[in-house]
């Protein structure tokens, strides 16, 4: 009887998708040939820290995504063969446009809801374009119909997009070098308004500040 109940529960969980997907492994991004291939570099003890500030873009191995609520920095730790370093997203913060407020990095999971894929086009929009449809502009006007909500990405596609971003995040814990990945900072300002960014690192390897001018 107990076995039967457990079996039915397992089937229900599979049906709900709770066991359908294994946990996404954080893999980071491919490390470039050398520190000079990144926008900025700094020696931190025996380790070289290199980074690119990429704004609201979220680069992944399968192509770039974007986030209106967060900006990203691609970070790389480079060192001698067999060297290791303990890594945490909490080691990083940024100062944007010289403001007094320092923005701490946030865990990658908080970024997922704000992701979008510039390459994704809603089938509704695609069909409208193929038929030569033209918006009537009635939404929001006096006496017009309410403006329809923008179409949402289907759940399987959204999940795949989020997994792409999660895999690109900077791996944490004690890691062998070289290693690279993304760290994220909450910021809703436009990319065009960002003139200078200071990336602060204070972690197991030491301390450093990398400055990006745009």
Query: Span 193-212, mean pLDDT?
Result: 97
Domain annotation for the chain: domains and CATH numbers: 24-123+152-213 (2.60.40)
Say whether pLDDT at 95 is over 80.
Answer: yes
CA dihedral 36, 171, 169, 98 (to 10 degrees): -60
pLDDT at 137: 44
CA dihedral 44, 47, 53, 56 (to 10 degrees): -110
Q: What is the mean pLDDT of the chain?
A: 84
Of all residues in the chain, the percent with pLDDT exceeding 90 is 70
- Centroid of chain to Cα 184: 6
Condensed to tens digits (0 to 9), the pLDDT of residues 102-153 reads 999 999 999 999 999 999 887 755 544 555 554 444 445 455 566 666 678 9
Q: Which residues contact 70 (CB under 8 A, 6 or more apart)?
A: 56, 58, 106, 110, 111, 114, 184, 185, 186, 187
Region 53-78: what's the mean pLDDT? 97
Q: How many helices (H) and strands (E) does the chain have?
A: 3, 13
Alpha-carbon span 67 to 58, nearest angstrom: 7
């Amino acid at each position: 009887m107990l076995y039967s109940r457990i079996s039915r529960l397992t089937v229900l969980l599979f049906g709900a998708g709770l066991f359908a997907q294994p946990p996404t492994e954080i893999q980071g991004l491919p490390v470039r040939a050398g520190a000079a291939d990144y926008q900025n570099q700094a020696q931190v003890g025996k380790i070289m820290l290199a980074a690119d500030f990429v704004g609201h873009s979220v680069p992944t191995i399968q192509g770039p995504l974007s986030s209106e609520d967060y900006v990203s920095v691609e970070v790389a730790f480079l060192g001698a063969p067999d060297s290791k370093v303990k890594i945490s997203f909490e080691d990083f913060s940024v100062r944007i446009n010289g403001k007094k407020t320092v923005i701490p990095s946030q865990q990658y999971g908080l970024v997922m809801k704000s992701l979008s894929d510039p390459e994704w086009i809603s089938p509704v929009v695609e069909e409208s374009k193929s038929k030569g449809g033209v918006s009537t502009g009635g939404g929001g006007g006096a006496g017009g119909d309410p403006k329809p909500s923008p179409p949402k990405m289907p759940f399987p596609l959204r999940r795949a997009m989020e997994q792409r971003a999660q895999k690109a995040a900077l791996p944490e814990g004690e890691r062998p070098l070289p290693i690279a990945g993304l760290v994220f900072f909450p910021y809703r300002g436009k990319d065009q308004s960002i003139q200078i960014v200071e990336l602060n690192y204070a972690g197991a390897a030491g301390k450093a500040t990398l400055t990006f001018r745009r």
